[in-house]
Every structure is written in structure tokens, then in C-alpha cells.
Amino acid sequence: TKLVFRSTRNGGHKKYKNLYMMDAEIGEDGGEAERITEGDWIDTHCQWSPDRDWIVFSSNRDKPADAPERDHGMDPGYFAVYLMNAIDRSVVRVIRSGYDFSGHVNHPVFSPDGRSIVVTADLAAVSADPMSLPLLLHSQRPYGDIFTVDIDPDDMEKNQDVEEFARVTHSRYENATPDWTVFSTHDPHAQWNLLVMEENYTPSCPYAHHDGGESWHMTGQMCIPKRVC
């Protein structure tokens, strides 16, 4: 019954972003949004845990005091991932960014069982100079690759600055918001496994136009055009 979201509503002229909570049934027509973080920083990419006890989010609240507001006109980074207790509002940092090159650890998403978090991050740097890639207004720098980290689902304090994580992708392009499947890929009866078990069977991609001239194939759990494989 509660929504958590980021907003610049009290961010001043610098548009700082903090997190707010709202009754999903009443909304702002019959109630007010409760501010649950407050500071001159950016809190973003928030999501409820499956058991609704915690909130995971990304923030640059721990950036160094001498960090520049902008780096050559771009976002300077220093984003890390945090967990918040939805009841007492205590916060722990789970994965920090690299302070030596102003890292990004963003887009955290809980696994369905609440035991892991997937993020998009430049923990392994990037495989190409960001300035040689297209400069987009909504995303000045590539976040890098997708990583997962296992967490303790019962004791939030045990998740302070977790050091072990798994790298999932190796790419020189930006990987954006990740997500989880809701079924086990090891289940022989799972939908995707049923689709790829038959030899020489290529399932159609729901995003491919039948007259677009593209040839698509299945890799893992994503449909991608063959010409960019």
C-alpha cells in the first residue's frame, strides 16, 4: 500500500533528489508524501525488498567533500548502493563506488527471494573511453557492466560494504536497468527452457517486426539481432 519514489520537490535550485513515501491508495489528493531522506545529494533508483522491510537505492551522499559538482560539464559520479530499514529509517552502504575515478553503482534491484541485489556499475571500469562513445543528454557516461551481490536477508547491518560480488556481463557499451526472472532457469519445466530444448528451434522475438529485415535468435533469456552478436 506504499509507494517509494525520488523527487526534486525540496531540492532547491540545484535539484537535489531525496526519497519520499506515499500511500498508494490515497495518493497526494488525500494525503501527503512523507520525506524519508534529506540532504544535499542525489538519492535515486529506489525499490522495495520482496518482504517489504527494506528499501534499496543508489546515492552519491558519501561523495568526498572536495568532489566537484560537475566534471567537464558531466555528472561526477560517486554513486553507491544503500539499504534502508523502512521502519526506523536506518541506512547502511552495501556497495561503494570507486573514489579514485568517480564511479557509478546504480540501478539496484532485489532478487525475488531477497538474497541478492543486481546493479549496473563501472566497478571494472569500462572497456572503452567514455568520451569516444555517443554523448547522450540523459546518460553522459556508460555505467559499465552488470554485477550481483549476495546479502544477508535478515540482518541489514551485516550488509555494510560487502566486498564480494559477481560480474555478469563484459561489454564496452552501457548496460542500463537490470531485472530478474521470476522462475528458476534450472527448472526443466520453465518456459524459456521449454522453448530452447528442441534442436534447431528459434522462437520468435516479440519486439522484431516481421517485415523489418532483421534475423533474431535466442541467447540465454534475451532476444537480440544476429547482426550485432
Q: What is the pLDDT of residue 214?
A: 40
Cα separation of 78 and 202, whole Å?
Answer: 43
Residue with the three cell numbers 529506489? 46
Average confidence (pLDDT) over 50-60 = 95
Domain membership flag for residue 114: yes
Inside any domain, residue 176:
no
In a domain, 85, yes or no: yes
Largest Cα–Cα distance of the chain, in whole Å?
59
- Sign of the alpha-carbon torsion through 56, 163, 42, 128: negative
> Contact at 8 Å (CB) between 17 and 38?
no
Residue 181 or 187, more confident: 181
Predicted pLDDT of residue 193: 58
Instruction: For residue 116, give the nearest of 94, 132, 137, 96 by alpha carbon.
Output: 94
Phi-psi region of 73 (alpha: psi -120 to 50; beta: other; left: phi over 0): left
Residue 108 has pLDDT above 90, yes or no: yes
- Specify the pLDDT at position 227: 34
| Position 50 in a domain | yes
Segment 58-88, tens digit of pLDDT: 999 998 888 887 776 767 778 999 999 999 9
Domain membership of residue 125 (yes or no) is: yes
Average the pLDDT over 105-112 and give the result.
92
Q: Which amino acid is at 143?
A: Y
CB atoms within 10 A of CB 156: 19
pLDDT at 174: 67
In a domain, 137, yes or no: yes
Percent of the chain residues topping a pLDDT of 90: 39
Does some domain include residue 214? no
> Can you give the three-state secondary structure of 148-162, one letter per residue?
EEECCCCCHHHHCCC
In angstroms, rounded to a whole number, what is the distance separating the alpha carbons of residues 114 and 199? 35
Q: Which three cell numbers stand for residue 69?
A: 559538482
Tell me what the mean pLDDT of segment 159-164 comes to.
92
Distance CA 152, CA 42 (A): 26
pLDDT digits (tens, 9 = 90+) for 121-131: 877 765 555 54
DSSP-based three-state secondary structure for 228: helix
Q: Which domain holds residue 115?
A: 2-167
Domains: count for the chain: 1
Report angle CA 118, 120, 124 to the nearest 5 degrees. 110
Residue 45, domain member (yes or no): yes
